[in-house]
Amino acid sequence: MNNLVIAFLMTLIAGLSTGIGSLIAFVAKSTNTKFLSISLGFSAGVMIYVSFVEIFPKGLGMLTQELGERGGSWVTVLSFFGGLGLIAIIDKLIPSEENPHEIRNVEEESQPLAKDNGKLMRMGLMTALAIALHNFPEGLATFVSALQSPKVAIPIVAAIAIHNIPEGIAVSVPIYQATGSKKKAFMFSFLSGLAEPIGALIGWLLIMPIMNDVVYGIIFAAIAGIMVFISLDELLPAAEEYGEHHLAIYGLTAGMVLMAISLLLFI
Check residue 52 and give its pLDDT. Answer: 93
48 contact partners, CB below 8 Å, separation of at least 6 = 227, 228, 231, 232, 252, 255, 256
pTM over 0.75: no
| Residue 68 three-state SS | coil
The C-alpha angle 203, 207, 208, rounded to 5 degrees, equals: 110
Cα(45)–Cα(47) distance, integer angstroms: 6
Rounded Cα gap, residues 157 and 6, in angstroms? 12
Count CB atoms within 10 A of the CB of residue 266. 10
Distance between CA atoms of 193 and 14, rounded to whole angstroms? 8
pLDDT tens-place values along the chain, 267 residues long: 577 788 888 888 888 887 777 776 566 545 556 777 787 788 888 889 988 998 899 899 999 999 999 999 999 999 999 999 988 887 777 655 555 455 455 445 445 444 454 554 455 556 556 666 667 777 877 787 777 766 667 777 777 777 777 667 766 766 676 677 778 778 877 777 787 888 788 878 887 788 788 988 998 899 889 889 888 887 788 777 766 778 889 989 998 998 888 778 766
Is 14:157 a contact under the CB 8 Å cutoff? yes
